Amino acid sequence: MPHITVTRAAFAVSLASAIGAFAFMRGARAGESYAVTHTDEQWQRLLGPARYQILRQNGTEPPGSSPLLNEHRAGLYYCAGCDLAAFSSKTKYDAGEGWPSFYSVLPNAIRTRADHELIEPRTEAHCRRCGSHLGHIFDDGPQPTGKRYCIDGLALKFVPGRSA
């Protein structure tokens, strides 16, 4: 019986890693290369479970949960994965959707890809430098861009001060 227990444990481990590999393949990082890279274990250690789920597993935080929704100071929002400046407080606005929203992004900060996880296709946004998932982009934002960058607060670090 102990032998069977071990075999089952080994099977569970290999199944878990297969699922992990699948999640990786369908993630923002498939087929792209980034200046900042870490192993999956390093990412988990660096980010902690909540940020890891968003940034590396394409997760979405519950609407209304981010303290950044009430952040109205001038400053910059950095990728929580690699500290690349991604958004300015100048373009932040309240979209009423429950996630920090911006109508523009800083130059050369993000890359996008088509996201077909929901029935209606969305544009996924991830960090140009480390590939971490940040959120989604919609076409119902305010002028002058008409874009809504709907970003998970856990994917951002806010630093008050200069707003670029």
Q: How far is the CB of 21 from Zn ion (least distance, A)?
A: 22
Per CB under 5 A, does 154 bind Zn ion? no
Site for Zn ion in 109-148 (CB under 5 A): 127, 129-130, 132
Residue 51 lies near Zn ion (rule: CB under 5 A) = no
Closest to 101 (Cα-Cα) out of 67, 135, 133? 135
Asked if residue 79 binds Zn ion (CB under 5 A), the reply is: yes
Q: Which stretch binds Zn ion (CB under 5 A): 81-89, 93-101, 107-115, 134-142?
A: 81-89
Which residue among 82, 127, 130, 150 is the active-site one? Answer: 150
- Contacts with Zn ion by CB under 5 A lie at 79, 81-82, 84, 127, 129-130, 132
